[in-house]
Amino acid sequence: MKYAQILSFARELRKNQTPAEKLFWSKVRNRRFLGLKFNRQFIIEHDNSSYFIADFHCHEKKLIVEIDGEIHYRQQEYDQIREEILRELGYKIVRFRNEDVIQNWSKVEKKLISELSSENPEWKTNF
DSSP string, the chain: --HHHHHHHHHHHHHT--HHHHHHHHHHGGGTBTTB--EEEEEEEETTTEEEEEEEEETTTTEEEEEE-HHHHH-HHHHHHHHHHHHHTT-EEEEEEHHHHHH-HHHHHHHHHHHHHHH-THHHHH-
Task: Count structural domains, the chain.
Answer: 1
Cα gap 10→43, rounded to integer Å:
7
**Amino acid identity, position 124:** K
Low-confidence residues of the chain: pLDDT under 70: 71-73, 119-127
Contact 100, 24 (CB under 8 A): no
Convert the pLDDT of each residue in 22-43 to its tens digit.
999 999 999 999 999 999 999 9
Q: What is the pLDDT of residue 70?
A: 72
The domain containing residue 20 runs over which residues?
Answer: 3-126
Domain with residue 49: its CATH number is 3.40.960.10
Cα gap 125→17, rounded to integer Å:
34
Instruction: State the pTM of this model.
Output: 0.87
